[in-house]
Amino acid sequence: MSRFDLSGRWAIVTGANTGIGQAIAVGLANAGADIVGVGRSATTQTEADVCSLGRRFVTVSADLSRTGSAARVIAGALEAGATPDILVNNAGIIRRGDSLDFTEEDWDAVLDTNLKSVFFLCQAFARAALAAERRAKIINIASMLSFQGGIRVPSYTAAKSGLAGITRLLANEWAGSGINVNAIAPGYVETNNTMALRADAERNADILKRIPAGRWARPEDMAGAAVFLASPASDYVHGAILPVDGGWLAR
Protein backbone atom coordinates (compact mmCIF):
# COMPACT_ATOMS: atom_id res chain seq x y z
CA MET A 1 0.00 0.00 0.00
CA SER A 2 1.23 3.49 -0.83
CA ARG A 3 2.43 5.60 2.11
CA PHE A 4 0.28 8.37 0.62
CA ASP A 5 -2.94 6.32 0.54
CA LEU A 6 -5.78 7.86 2.59
CA SER A 7 -8.35 5.13 1.96
CA GLY A 8 -10.67 4.61 4.91
CA ARG A 9 -9.84 7.99 6.46
CA TRP A 10 -12.05 11.02 6.97
CA ALA A 11 -10.82 14.59 6.49
CA ILE A 12 -12.61 17.56 8.03
CA VAL A 13 -11.82 20.63 5.90
CA THR A 14 -12.96 24.10 6.93
CA GLY A 15 -13.61 26.69 4.26
CA ALA A 16 -14.11 23.87 1.78
CA ASN A 17 -16.47 25.76 -0.52
CA THR A 18 -13.84 27.52 -2.63
CA GLY A 19 -10.16 28.29 -3.18
CA ILE A 20 -7.50 26.49 -1.18
CA GLY A 21 -10.01 24.59 0.96
CA GLN A 22 -11.82 23.24 -2.07
CA ALA A 23 -8.58 22.20 -3.76
CA ILE A 24 -7.31 20.45 -0.63
CA ALA A 25 -10.62 18.65 -0.10
CA VAL A 26 -10.56 17.33 -3.67
CA GLY A 27 -6.87 16.44 -3.40
CA LEU A 28 -7.43 14.44 -0.22
CA ALA A 29 -10.43 12.71 -1.80
CA ASN A 30 -8.30 11.83 -4.81
CA ALA A 31 -5.91 10.10 -2.37
CA GLY A 32 -8.82 8.08 -0.95
CA ALA A 33 -10.24 10.15 1.93
CA ASP A 34 -13.89 10.87 2.57
CA ILE A 35 -14.59 14.55 3.26
CA VAL A 36 -16.49 16.65 5.78
CA GLY A 37 -16.81 20.11 4.24
CA VAL A 38 -17.26 22.89 6.79
CA GLY A 39 -18.30 26.44 5.97
CA ARG A 40 -20.87 29.21 6.09
CA SER A 41 -21.78 28.96 2.40
CA ALA A 42 -22.75 26.08 0.14
CA THR A 43 -20.13 23.49 -0.76
CA THR A 44 -22.03 22.28 -3.82
CA GLN A 45 -19.16 22.20 -6.31
CA THR A 46 -16.73 20.66 -3.83
CA GLU A 47 -19.26 17.96 -3.01
CA ALA A 48 -19.76 17.22 -6.72
CA ASP A 49 -16.00 16.99 -7.32
CA VAL A 50 -15.45 14.71 -4.31
CA CYS A 51 -18.36 12.44 -5.12
CA SER A 52 -17.19 12.14 -8.73
CA LEU A 53 -14.08 10.47 -7.32
CA GLY A 54 -16.24 7.87 -5.57
CA ARG A 55 -15.74 9.34 -2.11
CA ARG A 56 -18.33 10.31 0.49
CA PHE A 57 -19.02 13.96 1.32
CA VAL A 58 -20.77 15.42 4.36
CA THR A 59 -21.57 19.10 4.85
CA VAL A 60 -21.41 20.79 8.26
CA SER A 61 -22.60 24.40 8.27
CA ALA A 62 -20.84 26.68 10.76
CA ASP A 63 -19.86 30.27 11.42
CA LEU A 64 -16.39 29.84 12.88
CA SER A 65 -16.32 33.39 14.22
CA ARG A 66 -18.88 32.45 16.87
CA THR A 67 -17.97 31.17 20.33
CA GLY A 68 -18.66 27.46 20.74
CA SER A 69 -18.77 26.72 17.02
CA ALA A 70 -15.63 24.57 17.07
CA ALA A 71 -17.02 21.91 19.39
CA ARG A 72 -20.26 21.83 17.39
CA VAL A 73 -18.35 21.31 14.13
CA ILE A 74 -16.48 18.28 15.42
CA ALA A 75 -19.62 16.88 17.07
CA GLY A 76 -21.55 17.34 13.83
CA ALA A 77 -18.87 15.54 11.83
CA LEU A 78 -18.85 12.59 14.23
CA GLU A 79 -22.64 12.41 14.29
CA ALA A 80 -22.58 12.20 10.49
CA GLY A 81 -20.38 9.11 10.70
CA ALA A 82 -16.94 10.61 10.24
CA THR A 83 -13.95 9.42 12.27
CA PRO A 84 -11.40 11.88 13.74
CA ASP A 85 -8.54 11.19 11.33
CA ILE A 86 -7.59 14.45 9.57
CA LEU A 87 -8.42 18.10 10.30
CA VAL A 88 -7.54 20.87 7.86
CA ASN A 89 -7.98 24.34 9.36
CA ASN A 90 -8.28 26.42 6.23
CA ALA A 91 -11.17 28.84 6.84
CA GLY A 92 -10.07 32.42 7.23
CA ILE A 93 -10.84 36.06 6.48
CA ILE A 94 -8.73 39.14 5.86
CA ARG A 95 -9.30 42.84 6.54
CA ARG A 96 -7.05 45.47 4.97
CA GLY A 97 -6.31 48.94 6.30
CA ASP A 98 -3.54 51.23 7.51
CA SER A 99 -2.54 50.44 11.07
CA LEU A 100 -3.26 54.04 12.11
CA ASP A 101 -6.88 53.61 11.07
CA PHE A 102 -7.47 49.91 11.78
CA THR A 103 -10.60 49.25 13.84
CA GLU A 104 -11.07 47.02 16.86
CA GLU A 105 -13.96 45.35 15.04
CA ASP A 106 -11.71 44.33 12.15
CA TRP A 107 -9.05 43.14 14.59
CA ASP A 108 -11.46 40.93 16.53
CA ALA A 109 -13.18 39.52 13.44
CA VAL A 110 -9.92 38.23 11.97
CA LEU A 111 -8.42 36.95 15.24
CA ASP A 112 -11.64 35.15 16.18
CA THR A 113 -11.92 33.36 12.83
CA ASN A 114 -8.27 32.80 11.92
CA LEU A 115 -6.73 31.98 15.30
CA LYS A 116 -9.19 31.47 18.16
CA SER A 117 -11.45 29.12 16.22
CA VAL A 118 -8.46 27.15 14.94
CA PHE A 119 -7.19 26.48 18.45
CA PHE A 120 -10.57 25.28 19.66
CA LEU A 121 -11.16 23.16 16.54
CA CYS A 122 -7.79 21.50 17.20
CA GLN A 123 -8.76 20.97 20.84
CA ALA A 124 -12.15 19.42 20.07
CA PHE A 125 -10.70 17.26 17.30
CA ALA A 126 -7.81 16.03 19.46
CA ARG A 127 -10.18 15.13 22.28
CA ALA A 128 -12.22 13.04 19.84
CA ALA A 129 -9.14 11.35 18.38
CA LEU A 130 -7.77 10.47 21.81
CA ALA A 131 -11.15 9.17 22.97
CA ALA A 132 -11.35 6.98 19.86
CA GLU A 133 -7.70 5.89 20.28
CA ARG A 134 -6.95 6.87 16.67
CA ARG A 135 -3.81 8.35 15.17
CA ALA A 136 -4.69 11.72 13.70
CA LYS A 137 -3.29 14.54 11.56
CA ILE A 138 -3.95 18.25 11.96
CA ILE A 139 -2.97 20.59 9.13
CA ASN A 140 -3.22 24.32 9.76
CA ILE A 141 -3.09 26.79 6.88
CA ALA A 142 -0.51 29.40 7.76
CA SER A 143 0.82 32.13 5.45
CA MET A 144 3.87 34.01 4.27
CA LEU A 145 2.80 36.38 7.04
CA SER A 146 3.65 33.67 9.54
CA PHE A 147 7.25 34.60 8.63
CA GLN A 148 6.98 38.23 7.49
CA GLY A 149 5.18 41.38 8.56
CA GLY A 150 3.38 42.44 5.40
CA ILE A 151 1.62 45.79 5.12
CA ARG A 152 -1.93 46.96 5.84
CA VAL A 153 -3.07 43.61 7.29
CA PRO A 154 -2.24 43.92 11.01
CA SER A 155 -4.82 41.48 12.36
CA TYR A 156 -4.13 38.92 9.63
CA THR A 157 -0.39 39.10 10.31
CA ALA A 158 -0.99 38.70 14.05
CA ALA A 159 -3.28 35.72 13.47
CA LYS A 160 -0.98 33.90 11.05
CA SER A 161 2.09 34.56 13.21
CA GLY A 162 0.15 33.22 16.18
CA LEU A 163 -0.96 30.21 14.17
CA ALA A 164 2.67 29.24 13.56
CA GLY A 165 3.28 29.32 17.30
CA ILE A 166 0.14 27.36 18.12
CA THR A 167 1.10 24.72 15.54
CA ARG A 168 4.44 24.19 17.26
CA LEU A 169 2.94 24.22 20.75
CA LEU A 170 0.29 21.63 19.93
CA ALA A 171 2.87 19.47 18.16
CA ASN A 172 4.97 19.50 21.33
CA GLU A 173 2.00 18.51 23.49
CA TRP A 174 0.41 15.88 21.24
CA ALA A 175 3.23 14.22 19.26
CA GLY A 176 3.61 11.54 21.92
CA SER A 177 -0.12 10.79 21.73
CA GLY A 178 -0.16 9.97 18.03
CA ILE A 179 -1.41 13.33 16.77
CA ASN A 180 0.72 15.15 14.19
CA VAL A 181 0.24 18.91 14.06
CA ASN A 182 1.80 20.73 11.11
CA ALA A 183 1.02 23.64 8.80
CA ILE A 184 1.18 24.63 5.17
CA ALA A 185 2.22 28.21 4.42
CA PRO A 186 0.88 29.11 0.98
CA GLY A 187 2.59 31.81 -1.01
CA TYR A 188 0.56 34.26 -3.07
CA VAL A 189 -2.42 32.27 -4.34
CA GLU A 190 -5.16 33.16 -6.82
CA THR A 191 -8.12 33.25 -4.41
CA ASN A 192 -10.87 35.64 -3.35
CA ASN A 193 -8.65 36.92 -0.53
CA THR A 194 -6.04 38.16 -3.00
CA MET A 195 -8.32 39.78 -5.57
CA ALA A 196 -7.42 43.29 -4.36
CA LEU A 197 -3.70 42.59 -4.71
CA ARG A 198 -4.02 41.09 -8.17
CA ALA A 199 -6.17 44.02 -9.29
CA ASP A 200 -3.46 46.49 -8.21
CA ALA A 201 -1.12 46.55 -11.21
CA GLU A 202 1.86 47.89 -9.29
CA ARG A 203 1.53 45.50 -6.33
CA ASN A 204 0.88 42.57 -8.64
CA ALA A 205 4.02 43.33 -10.65
CA ASP A 206 6.12 43.72 -7.48
CA ILE A 207 4.89 40.38 -6.15
CA LEU A 208 5.59 38.54 -9.39
CA LYS A 209 9.11 39.94 -9.54
CA ARG A 210 9.95 38.23 -6.26
CA ILE A 211 8.48 34.79 -7.03
CA PRO A 212 11.19 32.61 -8.61
CA ALA A 213 8.52 30.35 -10.11
CA GLY A 214 7.28 33.40 -12.05
CA ARG A 215 3.58 33.00 -11.33
CA TRP A 216 0.98 33.19 -8.60
CA ALA A 217 0.09 29.85 -7.04
CA ARG A 218 -3.12 28.11 -7.95
CA PRO A 219 -5.21 26.56 -5.15
CA GLU A 220 -4.47 23.06 -6.42
CA ASP A 221 -0.75 23.68 -5.80
CA MET A 222 -1.50 23.16 -2.09
CA ALA A 223 -3.09 19.73 -2.49
CA GLY A 224 0.12 17.69 -2.70
CA ALA A 225 1.50 19.13 0.53
CA ALA A 226 -1.82 18.43 2.24
CA VAL A 227 -1.85 14.80 1.08
CA PHE A 228 1.70 14.36 2.40
CA LEU A 229 0.92 15.88 5.81
CA ALA A 230 -2.32 13.88 6.07
CA SER A 231 -0.75 10.56 5.14
CA PRO A 232 1.44 7.95 6.88
CA ALA A 233 4.36 9.37 4.88
CA SER A 234 4.53 12.23 7.40
CA ASP A 235 4.24 10.16 10.59
CA TYR A 236 7.56 11.53 11.92
CA VAL A 237 6.84 15.14 10.94
CA HIS A 238 5.74 17.29 13.89
CA GLY A 239 5.53 21.07 14.22
CA ALA A 240 6.66 21.80 10.64
CA ILE A 241 5.48 24.83 8.70
CA LEU A 242 5.87 23.89 5.05
CA PRO A 243 6.08 26.83 2.63
CA VAL A 244 4.43 26.22 -0.74
CA ASP A 245 5.42 29.55 -2.18
CA GLY A 246 7.13 29.20 -5.54
CA GLY A 247 10.41 30.10 -3.86
CA TRP A 248 9.21 33.39 -2.30
CA LEU A 249 10.99 32.89 1.03
CA ALA A 250 14.18 31.70 -0.66
CA ARG A 251 14.52 34.94 -2.64
What pLDDT does residue 197 have? 85
- Tens of pLDDT, residue by residue over 222-238, are 999 999 999 999 999 99
CB 235 within 8 A of CB 207: no
* Burial of 179 per CB tally in 10 Å (0-12, 13-18, 19+): buried
Classify residue 130 by burial, with Cβ atoms within 10 Å: 0-12, 13-18, 19+.
Answer: middle
**In degrees, to the nearest 5, what angle opens at C-alpha 142 toward C-alphas 236 and 55?**
70
pLDDT tens digits, residue range 51-93? 999 999 999 999 999 989 999 999 999 999 999 999 999 999 9
**Domain boundary assignment for the chain:** 10-242
Confidence (pLDDT) at 67: 87
pLDDT tens sequence across 9-51? 999 999 999 999 999 999 999 999 999 999 888 999 999 999 9
156 annotated active-site: yes
Write down the catalytic residue from 57, 125, 156, 248. Answer: 156
What is the per-residue pLDDT across 180-217, written as a single tens digit (0 to 9) for each?
999 999 999 998 878 888 999 998 999 999 999 999 99
The top-level CATH class assigned to 10-242 is: alpha beta
Q: Which residues pair with 141 in a beta bridge?
A: 184
CB atoms under 10 Å from CB of 61, counted, come to: 14
